[in-house]
Structure formats: C-alpha cells, structure tokens
Amino acid sequence: MKVVLFCGGLGLRMRDYSESIPKPLVPLGNRPILWHVMRYYAHYGHKDFILCLGHKGHAIKEFFLNYDECASNDFVLSGGGRRVDLLARDIDDWRITFLDTGINSNIGERLLAARPFLEGEEMFLANYSDGLTDFHLPDVISQLDRPGVVGAFMAARPGTSFHFVRQDVEGFVERVEDVTKADLWVNAGYFAFRQQIFDAIRPGEELVEEPFARLMQERRLVARRHDGFWRGCDTFKDLQTLESLQAKGPAPWEVWRQQPQPVVTHLAAE
C-alpha cells in the first residue's frame, strides 16, 4: 500500500530551531523526523512512498540521494576501511517518489497533485510527517472494510499539557481541567483512504475542512481512538521531549526496535 507524506509546509513554529532545513529534516537522534515516520510505515510492510515536497524540497532530495546506511545500522569495517559489511539495512527495499507540489499548497492540493501516482491503488495511506506514535497501524486500515467508509484516521489524546476552562455566562469559572485527562481527541494525522476521497476534494480546498465535512455528512469518515503514545513535533519543546524519550531507548514510536530482528550481512562498499 502506497504512503503519501506531506513534506512541503513552511514549519513556521520550528523556525526557532533551524531556518536552513525543512521541518521534516529536523534531526531526531541520527535521523530526521521524516525518516522515523517512514521507518514506522516500513515496519508494517508499506515501503512505497510519495513525498509531496514544497518548502526546501531540494534538501529532502539531497538527503536521500546521499543517504548513508551506516549512520543508523551496525556494520563491520575491514580491509583498512576499503570494505564495509552492513549487519542490517533500513531503506534498501524502499521506493520513494519525490513530487514537487508547490511552496504554498495546502494539504488538499498536495494530495490532489499525488493522485496520478495513486492510480490503480484501491486504498492508500497518508501522513502529515510530523507526529510519532506506537499505534498499531492495521487498526486504522481495517476501518476501510466497513461498508461505505472512504476515510479513516487515528484520533489521539493531545500530546501537550494545558488547561481548558469552562465558565458560565457571567464569567465565573465552573471547571479547570488538564486537557490530557479530559475526553478530548485530536486528529493525529495517520490517515487511510479509498480512491473515492478524491471525489470529495474540490480544487483549492484544505483536506480536513470541506472534504471531511462532506464525508461526515454522509457517514463515510471514521476515527480510531488510540490511548497509547502519540506526539506531534511542532515546536522546539516537542523536539526536546522526543529526544529525551529516545535517549532512554527504545523510544515508544520505534516499533521496529521492539521485537527481535534477523541479522543479514550485506556488502555495502569495497
């Protein structure tokens, strides 16, 4: 199943971290956030990616064109450095389509731009490329088997803590509650769609506004709640939280590290 990744936004809230690279390339450990999202999908067998590029898209192309498997895999060095035998690989069997979808395009426009590359795909996946989770991906894909359902997504608890307030008409506070403990859910950006999603999108529309409103009216959109780990990486503080979790290792979203992996030796260079 193909995976559409939206990688073209300006990432304004992360500009205090770096203005030289696009948000998806902000490093988390020895790999960028985008890689962590892709590695998650690859763990579940979905390795055919469509990257919808925009802001600094050339940097994302260059990252993969100059990809070094040794940075995230164990290896054996011999022959005075002339031979490198990788003990594992990560992107060797990935297929990645790099698609320029415009600097100022919204998510709906980027998805429409990817439509020609999804022909023949009865279903496909999509992601904002800036949130990490330990969600069991098949649970959202299976929602498309329900009669009439065109789209499904993962709904998660808000990843950051703040207090919401309820008050009466005179302004007196009736309730103050931590949002992480309330019955509130957010769109976490892990989508599964049937081809009919394109029938709901008009040119220029944002994905979760008008198109989702049409699907909701027809009862064709489903959300699957996830009480486990999810964290968006919108700000430098979010990044610091993710770095702290990874330092303790394995991080919650690193589902590929949470079960034994076979060791396969490959010749990387000689």
Q: Which residues sit opposite 151 in a β-bridge? A: 193, 221
Tokens encoding 110: 């980027």
Asked whether the beta carbons of 125 and 1 are under 8 A apart, the reply is yes
Q: Report the percent of the chain where pLDDT is more than 70.
A: 88
Asked whether the beta carbons of 6 and 126 are under 8 A apart, the reply is yes
Asked whether the beta carbons of 228 and 252 are under 8 A apart, the reply is yes
Q: What is the pLDDT of residue 65?
A: 93
Q: What tens digit of pLDDT does each residue of 112-158 get?
A: 999 999 999 999 999 999 999 999 999 999 999 999 999 999 999 87
| 230 contact partners, CB below 8 Å, separation of at least 6 | 131, 132, 133, 134, 135, 154, 156, 157, 159, 188
Q: What tens digit of pLDDT does each residue of 210-248 get?
A: 999 999 999 999 999 999 999 998 888 889 999 999 998
Tokens encoding 108: 């709906």
**Helix %, strand %, coil % for the chain, to 5?**
30, 30, 40
How far is the C-alpha of 199 from the C-alpha of 170, rounded, in Å? 46
Asked whether the beta carbons of 6 and 110 are under 8 A apart, the reply is yes
How far is the C-alpha of 15 from the C-alpha of 235, rounded, in Å? 8
Q: What is the pLDDT of residue 267?
A: 42
Q: Name the H helices within the chain.
A: 33-43, 57-65, 107-114, 138-141, 210-217, 236-248
Q: What is the pLDDT of residue 258?
A: 76
Q: Domain spanning 2-157+184-269 has what CATH number?
A: 3.90.550.10
In 3-state terms, what secondary structure has residue 101?
coil
Q: What is the pLDDT of residue 163?
A: 73
Asked if omega into 250 is within 30° of 0 (cis), the reply is yes
Q: What is the pLDDT of residue 106?
A: 94
Q: Which residues sit opposite 79 in a β-bridge? A: none
Q: What tens digit of pLDDT does each residue of 29-67 get?
A: 889 999 999 999 999 999 999 999 998 999 999 999 998
Q: What is the pLDDT of residue 15?
A: 56
Q: Give residue 269's pLDDT band: very low, low, confident or very high (50, 70, 90).
A: very low
CB atoms within 10 A of CB 174: 8
